[in-house]
Structure 1
């Protein structure tokens, strides 16, 4: 049985744009970026981190559990 991933539904063409979660991926950090996410950074045992181009570099350096070498995919 597969798990339903609402974030994956949002990434489908025609779905609502995903907002940037960078650079840390934790909402309590107060780093609310209004830009749409263009990249996903794969993390170990955590959901992928959706980030805008501005936060791509900082997320690789500062976000928790980022794989190294990084695995980055283009969202849209």
Structure 2
């Protein structure tokens, strides 16, 4: 878990690079949401639910992994 300790939340949309709109959350990521053909989306507890509904290419049923602690 220490590898991801410095990871910041990328929710709820999971944009990468120039498409990073809506990813200005400065909270630490606690969960990883698996996505098809994209890296896992690291999110905080607040953005976990919205990311499952709005992020691109989220697997269904969702695969969620705990990567940190509050």
- Report the alpha carbon displacement of residue 53 of structure 1 after superposing the two structures with TM: 0.1
Question: Which residue does 2:54 correspond to in 1?
Answer: 62
Unaligned runs of 5+ in 2: none
| Structure 2: distance between partners of 1:19 and 1:72 | 16
Structure 1, residues 19-76: CA drift from partner, whole Å, max 9, x if none?
0000001153143000000000000000000000000000000000000000000002
Tell me which structure has the larger Cα radius of gyration. 1
Unaligned runs of 5+ in 1: 1-11
> TM-score scaled to structure 2, two decimals?
0.83
Aligned residue pair count: 65
Runs of 4+ residues deviating >4 angstroms: none
Question: Which residue does 1:31 correspond to in 2?
Answer: 23
